Amino acid sequence: MRIAVDKHLALLFGGVVGLLVIASLIGWILRSRVKSESGRATVTNLNARIRAWWVMSAIFAGTLVVGPFGSLVLFGFTSFMALREYITLTPTRRGDHRALFWSFFIFTPLQYWLIGVRWYGLFSILIPVYAFLFIPTRAALAGDTERFLERAAKIQWGLMICVYCLSHAPALLMLNIPGYAGQGAKLLLYLVLVDQMSDVLQYVWGKLAGRHKIAPTVSPNKTVEGFLGGVLTATALGMALWWVTPFTPLQAAAMSLVITLLGFFGGLTMSAIKRDRGIKDFGMMIEGHGGFLDRIDSLCFAAPIFFHVTRFFYTPPSPDFPLFRWFIAR
Amino acid sequence: MSKDTHLLAAALAQFARLASGVTTRWIDCQPEERQRIYFANHTSHLDALVVWSSLPGHVRRWVRPVAAADYWNKSWLRHYLACNVFHAALVERSENIETASGERVAHARMLIERLLEQMGDRYSLIIFPEGTRGSGENVAPFKSGMYHLCRERPHLELVPAYIENLNRVLPKGEVLLVPVLCSVTFGPPLQVRSGEGKNDFLARTREALCRLKPQ
């Protein structure tokens, strides 16, 4: 086990602990101040969320310090649990059993193993190509044609969101960014921090200043004020943290804007699914937050885009890439 | 004279809880140590294990699952698991006995007596009145055994337990587990009413079980 905490990482951890202490104090003060029935329920939920944040932050920081293996296990486990919640709420049939077994016990671990051995080529196509073709084939071999396309599509979608998309967060550890070697953990922490702070700030701004609903049919709790306030403050936070990334302050702001916007789209899309299924949360494993999938919905959308934008602009392109030749020619 | 839970039973119960991610709900009913009959829908081999493991430990050790002797006596391992590990009450299913109807009645009577003997004045039972595993979508009509059992002990509480999703974890004819999340919902206890006919009783208890289905 290699324990390596550089100064930047230690500072970030310190910042997170500081934030949690402030949040806990605010929660503690609110508990004695708020008297109304509905206000009490909100404060109780808020305090449950803060407690869960302490636990999640501690686990995430612990796995980050252990090295890539720790992060892969944590994100792999999270993918597994998210897929579990997703499949539970998706009506599948007896004929899907083997395809589901493959999704949980072959494709999910394989996807994270590929990150561990830094096999980028297969990592990027395992689920969109191989699993995509395998799942309907396995279901067809099982011989049940009822709602066939719907069933296959739902399993494919679950694998894409819960496993493929999320796996791009720890995949940041395998990027070779010149001048930033061996510092992928900081980039992963940066992504998770900006993404999750965007969720938190949208929630806080929504509770404090929310007036106009932004998508009343999909998510009645999301407001225009919450969206704008959250996205802007989280982007500002991401910009202020530019020193842990390979980005300049302006680039960090642009990257944070990408993360926060995608995070918002993720939350909105997953809310639409929950609405369609007639549920409020995907699970109840994380007190105050719902399930795993409820907590990571924004990260599932932000991670792959952040990964690819970073990979495109900050790692040396392959020499046969036409744009690259064009750049060189100039 | 408390009976200790077999170590392997405790381990398997823990495994079943993990594999099925079971959520337990109690609706108008409390997990108590009193003598009861828990009756559940039957959709998977894991049913008895999951219902058993979703009871709290102090209740659990006085609860015996009822299982089919023809299945659980097939091999030494199955017999050991059923009898020594889970202290199951094994019964011969009447379909497996090809005899005249008079002998069937005699067999049924013997079966009820055997179950009563296994219960003593302390043990509760977990039974699956459908008799065999279903598809998981519908609850099949109940077999009459439960009625005769309750007629003999009219003061016993009958607790319905609806098992959701376990057929997706391990459907009939499968050996591989898929970790779909399950739930067990215990409902308000019932009792056999005086003068209640067999068909009315079976329909009423089945109805009480179906009502517990989530959504």
Q: How confident is the model over A206-252, as pLDDT tens digits? A: 989 988 999 988 888 899 999 999 999 999 999 999 999 999 999 99
Using DSSP bridges, classify how beta strands B183-186 and B157-164 pair: parallel, antiparallel or unpaired: antiparallel
pLDDT at res. A52? 92
What whole-number distance in Å separates Cα of residue B215 and Cα of residue B183? 12
Query: CA dist A50 to A27, A194, A296, B148, Å?
Result: 8, 17, 16, 55
pLDDT at res. B1? 36
Q: At what angle do helices A249-277 and A224-240 cross, to 10 degrees?
A: 140
What whole-number distance in Å separates Cα of residue B185 and Cα of residue B171? 20
Nearest by CB to B176, which of A85, A92, A101?
A: A101
Query: CA dist B40 to A57, B44, B60, B185, B206, Å?
Result: 41, 11, 16, 10, 9
Nearest CA of chain B to the CA of A106: how many Å? 12
Start-to-end CA span in chain A (Å): 46
Interface test with B, best of A80, A88, A144 (most B CBs within 10 A): A88
Q: What is the dihedral of CA A89, A91, A94, A97, to 10 degrees?
A: -40
| pLDDT-based confidence at residue A7 (cuts at 50, 70, 90) | confident
Q: Sort out which chain A residues have CB atoms less than 8 A from B164's CB and list them.
A: none
* pLDDT for A56 beyond 50: yes
Share of chain B above pLDDT 90, in %: 35
Which residues 103-162 in chain A show a CB within 8 A of chain B?
104
| pLDDT-based confidence at residue B173 (cuts at 50, 70, 90) | confident
Q: Sort out which chain B residues have CB atoms less than 8 A from A88's CB and list them.
A: 165, 180-181
Nearest CA of chain B to the CA of A88: how many Å? 5
What whole-number distance in Å separates Cα of residue A133 and Cα of residue A155? 12
Produce one character per residue of A47-67: b if its CB has 16 or more CB atoms within 10 Å, e if not.
bebbebbeeebeebbebbbbe
* Residue B142: burial class (beta carbons within 10 Å; 0-12, 13-18, 19+): buried
Which residues 64-103 in chain A show a CB within 8 A of chain B?
80, 84-85, 87-88, 92, 94, 97-98, 100-101
| pLDDT-based confidence at residue A279 (cuts at 50, 70, 90) | confident
Residue pair B180/A103 in contact (Cβ under 8 Å)? The answer is no
Nearest by CB to B181, which of A88, A92, A278?
A: A88
Task: Point out which residues pair with B26 in neighbouring strands.
Answer: B186
pLDDT digits 0-9 by tens, B102-119: 777 787 788 888 888 888
DSSP A117: T
Q: Sort out which chain A residues have CB atoms less than 8 A from B180's CB and list them.
A: 84, 87-88, 100
Q: Do A97 and B178 touch (CB under 8 A)?
A: yes
Half-sphere exposure of A90 (CA within 13 A, CB side): 24
Q: Residues of B near A (CB-CB distance < 8 A)?
A: 21, 23, 135, 165, 168, 171, 174, 176-181, 215
Nearest CA of chain A to the CA of B181: how many Å? 6
A280–B contact, CB cutoff 8 A: no
Residue pair B40/B206 in contact (Cβ under 8 Å)? The answer is no
Interface test with A, best of B44, B180, B215 (most A CBs within 10 A): B180
Q: Do B176 and A98 touch (CB under 8 A)?
A: yes
Q: Tell me the whole-structure pTM to 2 decimals.
A: 0.89
Share of chain A above pLDDT 90, in %: 73
Taking alpha carbons only, the member of A257, A258, A265, A252 closest to residue A300 is A265
What whole-number distance in Å separates Cα of residue A259 and Cα of residue A253? 10
- Cβ count within 10 A of residue B43: 25
- The alpha carbon of B167 is separated from its chain's Cα centroid by a whole number of angstroms, namely 15
Nearest residue on chain B to A278, alpha-carbon basis = B215
Query: CA dist B154 to B23, B33, B39, B148, B190, Å?
Result: 31, 18, 16, 10, 10
pLDDT digits 0-9 by tens, A18-46: 999 999 999 999 988 888 888 888 899 89
* pLDDT for B99 beyond 70: no
* pLDDT for B96 beyond 60: no
